Structure 1
Amino acid sequence: MPGPSGFRYVRHGDGSVVLTHHGRAAGTLRAARAEKFLAEVESGDEQLVMARWTGAYRFGNERTARRHPRNQDRFGRR
C-alpha cells in the first residue's frame, strides 16, 4: 500500500499551524499542539505525520470492509 501524500502545512505568525490535504483545509493546530506537531514532523516522515494528525490515515481494511455482506447495500451491490 502506498504511503500518504498530498499533505502540506503552513506556519503562521501567531504560532498556529494549518494542515491541508490536496489544497483543502484538514486541520488547525494552536499553541502546545502546534509545537508538538512541528517537533514530530521535523523528526519523521512528514506525510505520515500529517496524515496521522489530521485523521486522514487509511489502515488498509477498506477493500475488505466493502466486500463484507452487511455492507453490500451501501455500495450498490446485492
Structure 2
Amino acid sequence: MPRPQGFAFERRADDSVVITHAGRAAGTLRGARAARFLDEVQRGDAQLVMARWTGNYKHGNERAARAHPRNRG
C-alpha cells in the first residue's frame, strides 16, 4: 500500500487541531479527540495517522477492483 502524503495539521490556541490535505481542511478535532490524535501522531507515522483520522486512505482493494470485468473498459 502506498504511503499517504500531503497531510498537515495545525494545533490552535483553543487546543483544537485542524487537519489539512493538499491545503484544504479535511477535519477538525476538539477536546479529548484532539489530545488523543496528538498523542498518536507523536508515536507513529504522522501521514498514516492523519489519513486514518480523516478517512482519506486506501482500503487495499484498489488493485483488485481495477481487474474486475466491470472496470476494464
Q: Same fold (TM over 0.5)?
A: yes
Unpaired runs of at least 5, structure 2: none
Give SS of 1:4's match.
coil
**TM-score (structure 2 length as normaliser):** 0.88
| In the alignment, structure 1 residue 16 sits paired with structure 2 residue 16 | yes
Residue identity opposite 1:31 in structure 2: G
- Can you list the C-alpha shifts for 1:28-69, whole angstroms capped at 9, x where unaligned? 000000000000001111001001001001023113213323
The sequence identity of aligned pairs, in percent, is 64
Cα displacement (A) at 1:23: 0.6
* Structure number with bigger Rg: 1
**What is the aligned-residue RMSD (CA, Å)?**
1.5
Q: Write out the 4+ residue segments of structure 1 that deviate beyond 4 Å after TM superposition.
A: none
Unpaired runs of at least 5, structure 1: none
Number of residues of Structure 1 aligned to a counterpart in Structure 2? 73
